[in-house]
Chains A and B, each alone.
Chain A
Amino acid sequence: MKVSVTILLMLLGSFAVSAADFSVVVKDENGAVVENAVVSLEPKFTLNKPMNAGQEVLEMGQRGAMFTPFVLPVHVGTKVSFPNYDEFRHQVYSFSKAKRFELRLYGQDESKSVIFENPGVVALGCNIHDNMLAYIYVSEFPIVAKTGEDGVAPLSELEEGSYVVHIWHPDMSSGSKMTLPAITVGDQNDPLNATVKLRSIRSIQKAPAEGGDY
């Protein structure tokens, strides 16, 4: 980490930015770590280095009649590509308020992309494969990360200062997200522990039916 921080400082040159590492650990009410929780940070100050949303292209692939990843966090204005890694077609759609669209992906290695301009949760489905399910979480805030299997959302190279932490997960009751009190990110930071209330039955993306035909 030290190396990359050094490189970053060198690249930034004249910017007098001190970057800090921070992480949020998300657990449910039973104390079990929660995967696929989206952590977004709302800075309470003006960032020296504004996030250039729309510069990077993120990916929501289709492989083996499943979306991958299951949850994709993005900033407002981000372009997401939808590459089809299968030999068969997918008809990807969303009727979520944040973004309504339909993509027709004929076959292998065809990719189309969508720009997500509005914040909110975009639930994805496929009109051909009923089992396919995924979420794109479009955050209005510049810094987003997702928890891994260990429940940890890593947030590296943050500017020091005060942030409000927002957490969302597909199994929180519809349309809700959790906002934690503002925290201050300094030079050295302990991980922030967050407990979320989730529905007992978790949404998962099921594998396609056995011996079924695509």
Chain B
Amino acid sequence: MARFEGKASQAVLAFCMGGLIGQAANAAEFPAVDLELYSDLRLTTVAGEPTWFKDWLGKLRYGGDWQGGRQTKLRLSELSLIAKSDITWDLHAFVHAKFDPEQDKPADLVEAYLRYRPVPTSRWQYQLKAGLFFPHISREHTSVAWTSPYTITPSAINSWIGEEIRTLGLEAKATLKLDQQKLSFTGGAFGFNDPAGTLLAFRGWALGDYKVGAFSRLPLPPISSIGPDSDFLRFQPLWVNPVREVDNKVGYYGAVDWSHKVGFKAGAFFYDNRGDPEVIKHSQYGWDTKFWNFYTEVEAPMGIDLMAQYLTGNTKMGFFKYGGDFRAVDVDYASGFVMASRKFGKHRLSVRRDWFDTDDNSFVVEDNNNEVGTAWTVAFNAHLGNKDSIIAEMLHVNSTRPFRETVWYDAQQSQTLWQLSYRRRF
């Protein structure tokens, strides 16, 4: 960890924060910037359908070659830079920038926010957050650089959160801390997430640990219903830029989280980007995307941690077509997972079962976005030291998506990805 206490950074942050800087009890020590690097060296082997990153319909971050042949590769799959600064004792700045081979920019911003959390003076604790960040949907991503200590590949739900959900906005949170339990209420208002839902509709669910940067585009498969040659949705290009403001309408989310000392946690989260499905800007539609996310975590006997999440929602885009009651795209989606995990000393073994499903409500003949699938994930996280670990993972996914037939593949595909990830923090 490198520590810079340069005058320049101090001046910039002081300028940003204006009068708040006066709160620092010992201003000479603030603000310091802590920099940390996170790297992920990855060995993968997989056969079958090519990955969706190759503009295809594969479900995983890595896939087989165009004939479905096995591909075995060693690569740097992520390099993240995390900068943290304590501007005052109560005000913190966080920035996460990332390189990875799939990203269409050499470096991009994952999160950048300010967090204000004064010391509690009662059983209620308050927090404000402003900037670009992940709303707290994923239960898996508790490690540095939005990674999971359980598996390399997150669940289908949280893979999608990484791909398309990012809010630029303001969040307020109040937590009541009692002797035995904790209850939190969170509310947020945001913009710049209007294209969210595009991937779920045209590509479907996927499992991968890629997280989109604020300025990056993600590819869509060349299905017949979209792209300039299509006579169904020709203004929808073969890519999506999920972090974009399209309709200038403010979205919102709200959450309730409860935890009890007996070893039980549960919560509900609701998201609505309030997208206007008829607006096109920067070649992107506003998608009207809403969903609920529910979770529970239980500390079961024998040191087993159980975790489950269920996400269900709907997304709509485009005009009401052919004088009907349905928009060009109107897709219900749902996914759930159950994970059991156990620590063995400082190591951890995790097993997860995923289910996912999309249900197309409109124009199935022209644009079939139906899908069902399941996955098994087994991973072992070997703790090597405080700064490095190796995760070995087996991921098997099986899915049926009829629109694969329009790109000359069978509707039903399954594949198994084996991965070894060496992660290190500097």
Contact = CB atoms under 8 A, between A and B. Distances in A.
Contacts of A211: 142-144, 147, 149, 389
Interface string A80-99: 00000000010101010000
B144 A213 contact: yes
B330 interface: no
A172 to B, nearest CB: 10
Contacts of A127: 89-90, 117-120
Nearest to A170: B179
B82 to A, nearest CB: 8
A201 B261 contact: yes
A104 B25 contact: yes
A127 B90 CA distance: 9
A174 B149 CA distance: 36
A100 B121 CA distance: 8
A199 B89 contact: no
B86 A203 contact: no
Interface in A86-121: 89, 91, 93, 95, 100, 102, 104, 106
Given A201-B261, A203-B179, A210 B143 contact: yes
A213 B89 contact: no
A209 interface: yes
Contacts of B118: 127
A210 B89 contact: no
A125 interface: yes
A212 interface: yes
B308 to A, nearest CB: 19
Interface in A164-214: 174, 199, 201, 203, 209-213
A95 B122 contact: yes
Contacts of B123: 95
A127 B120 CA distance: 8
Interface centre among A102, A125, A209, A210 (most CB of B within 10 A): A210
B262 interface: yes
Contacts of B147: 211
Interface residues of B, number: 28
Interface in B11-40: 25-26, 29, 36
A201 B180 CA distance: 8
A213 B120 CA distance: 22
Contact of B180 (A91, A199, A210, A212): A199
Contacts of A91: 89, 119
B348 interface: yes
Nearest to B24: A104
Contact of B262 (A100, A104, A125, A201): A201
A212 B117 contact: no
A211 B399 CA distance: 32
Nearest to A88: B34
Contacts of A213: 36, 82, 84, 144
Contact of B26 (A93, A106, A125): A106
A210 B381 CA distance: 11
A93 B143 contact: no
A95 B122 CA distance: 6
B142 A209 contact: yes
A212 B143 CA distance: 5
Nearest to A89: B86
Contacts of B119: 91, 93, 102, 127
B142 A210 contact: yes
A198 to B, nearest CB: 12
A134 B149 CA distance: 27
Nearest to A106: B29
Contacts of B389: 211
Interface of A: 89, 91, 93, 95, 100, 102, 104, 106, 125, 127, 174, 199, 201, 203, 209-213
5 contacts: A93-B119, A95-B122, A127-B90, A201-B261, A201-B262
Given A127-B120, A210-B149, 6 more contacts: A89-B86, A106-B29, A127-B117, A212-B142, A213-B36, A213-B82
User: Which 10 A-B residue pairs are closest in the complex by CB-CB distance?
Assistant: A211-B143, A93-B119, A211-B149, A210-B149, A201-B261, A127-B119, A102-B119, A201-B262, A213-B144, A95-B121
